C-alpha cells in the first residue's frame, strides 16, 4: 500500500501546482484586462474632450462668420454718409492686438484721430476682444494673448486688404443712389417715409451684394481659417475656467 500512497501524494502536489499556475495566469490576465480597460477609458475621455473642443471651435467660428446685417450700415442725411464702420469686415476679423487695450477717447477733442479711435472702440466691443477683456488675465497671459493676436493680424492681412478693396468697389454705386435719394428728399420730391423705405432697401441690397462678393472671393474661408487657428492657440494660453467663460461669452 505504501507505493500507492506515495503516488497519491505526488499526484495531489502536481494537481495543486497546476491549479496555482492557472490562478496565476488568471490573475495576470485580469490585471492586464484592467490596464487595457483603464487605458480605453482614458482614451475615450480624451476623445470626448477633443470632440467637445472641436465643437467649441466650430461654433465660435460660425458665430464669428455671421452675415452682415443691414442695420450695421450707417447713414446720415446731412453728411450723406453711407458706410459700415468695419468696412464690410466682420468685427471678429477686423480686430488685432492694438484693440486689446481699451481705447480711451478724449471728450471734447475733435478731429479724424478721435473719430478713428471711437470707431475702433465700437468695433472691438462687438468682437471677441470684449470677451477677452473680461477674463482677468495675468500679465504673462496678456503678453501671450497680444502676441497671438499679432500673428492673427498677419494671417489675415492680405484678406483684409482684399476685403477693403471689395467693399469700396461694391459701395460706390450705392453711395450714388443714396445721395440721389437725399437730394430728392431735401428738394421735396419724396417724403420722409419714402426716403426711409428706399434707404432700407439700399441697406439690404448692399449687405447682400457685399456678402455675395466676399463668398465668391472666398474671403470668408480665409478669415475663418485664421480665426480658428487663433482660437486654438488661445486655448493653450487660457486655463479651463477662462476658456469656458470665453466660449460662453462669444456665443
Residue 27 and residue 83 share a domain = no
Q: Looking at the domain assignment, is residue 56 inside a domain?
A: no
Residue 243 and residue 131 share a domain = yes
Residue 119 and residue 45 share a domain = no
Give the domain range for residue 123. 65-250
Residue 27 and residue 145 share a domain = no
CA–chain centroid gap for 138, Å, is: 22
Number of independent structural domains in the chain: 2
Q: Looking at the domain assignment, is residue 58 inside a domain?
A: no
Residue 73 and residue 43 share a domain = no
Residue 214 and residue 184 share a domain = yes
Residue 242 and residue 219 share a domain = yes
Q: Looking at the domain assignment, is residue 44 inside a domain?
A: yes
The answer to whether residues 175 and 82 touch, using CB atoms and an 8 Å cutoff, is yes
Q: Looking at the domain assignment, is residue 9 inside a domain?
A: yes
The neighbour count for residue 149, using CB atoms within 10 Å, is 22
Q: Looking at the domain assignment, is residue 59 inside a domain?
A: no
Q: Looking at the domain assignment, is residue 131 inside a domain?
A: yes
Question: How far is residue 167's CA from residue 242's CA, in Å, rounded to a whole number?
Answer: 36
In the 8-state DSSP scheme, what is residue 95? -
Residue 192 and residue 75 share a domain = yes
Cell of 178: 443714396
Residue 88 and residue 17 share a domain = no
Q: Looking at the domain assignment, is residue 170 inside a domain?
A: yes
Cell of 203: 441697406
Strands in 22-107 per DSSP E: 73-76, 81-84
Residue 246 and residue 153 share a domain = yes
* pLDDT tens-digit profile, the chain (251 residues): 455 444 454 545 555 666 666 666 665 666 555 655 555 444 444 455 777 888 889 888 887 777 788 998 999 988 889 999 899 999 999 999 999 987 654 544 444 556 788 888 999 999 999 999 999 999 999 999 999 999 999 999 999 999 999 999 999 999 999 999 999 999 999 999 999 999 999 999 999 999 999 999 999 899 999 999 999 999 999 999 999 999 999 88
Specify the pTM: 0.74
Residue 103 and residue 14 share a domain = no
Residue 70 and residue 11 share a domain = no
Amino acid at each position: 500500500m505504501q507505493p500507492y500512497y506515495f503516488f497519491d501524494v505526488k499526484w495531489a502536489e502536481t494537481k495543486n501546482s497546476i491549479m496555482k499556475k492557472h490562478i496565476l495566469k488568471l490573475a495576470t490576465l485580469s490585471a492586464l484586462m484592467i490596464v487595457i480597460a483603464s487605458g480605453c477609458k482614458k482614451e475615450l475621455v480624451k476623445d470626448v474632450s477633443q470632440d467637445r473642443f472641436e465643437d467649441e471651435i466650430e461654433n465660435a467660428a460660425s458665430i464669428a462668420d455671421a452675415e452682415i446685417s443691414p442695420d450695421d450700415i450707417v447713414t446720415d442725411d446731412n453728411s450723406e454718409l453711407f458706410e459700415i464702420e468695419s468696412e464690410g469686415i466682420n468685427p471678429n476679423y477686423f480686430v488685432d492686438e492694438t484693440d486689446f487695450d481699451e481705447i480711451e477717447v478724449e471728450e471734447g477733442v475733435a478731429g479724424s484721430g478721435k473719430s478713428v479711435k471711437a470707431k475702433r472702440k465700437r468695433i472691438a466691443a462687438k468682437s471677441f476682444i470684449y470677451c477677452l477683456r473680461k477674463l482677468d488675465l495675468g500679465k504673462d497671459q496678456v503678453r501671450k494673448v497680444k502676441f497671438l493676436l499679432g500673428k492673427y493680424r498677419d494671417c489675415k492681412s492680405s484678406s483684409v486688404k482684399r476685403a477693403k478693396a471689395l467693399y469700396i468697389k461694391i459701395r460706390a454705386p450705392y453711395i450714388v443712389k443714396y445721395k440721389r435719394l437725399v437730394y430728392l428728399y431735401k428738394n421735396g420730391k419724396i417724403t420722409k417715409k419714402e426716403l426711409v423705405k428706399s434707404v432700407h432697401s439700399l441697406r439690404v441690397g448692399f449687405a447682400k451684394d457685399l456678402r455675395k462678393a466676399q463668398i465668391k472671393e472666398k474671403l470668408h474661408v480665409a478669415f475663418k481659417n485664421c480665426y480658428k487657428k487663433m482660437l486654438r492657440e488661445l486655448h493653450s494660453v487660457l486655463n479651463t475656467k477662462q476658456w469656458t467663460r470665453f466660449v460662453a461669452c462669444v456665443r
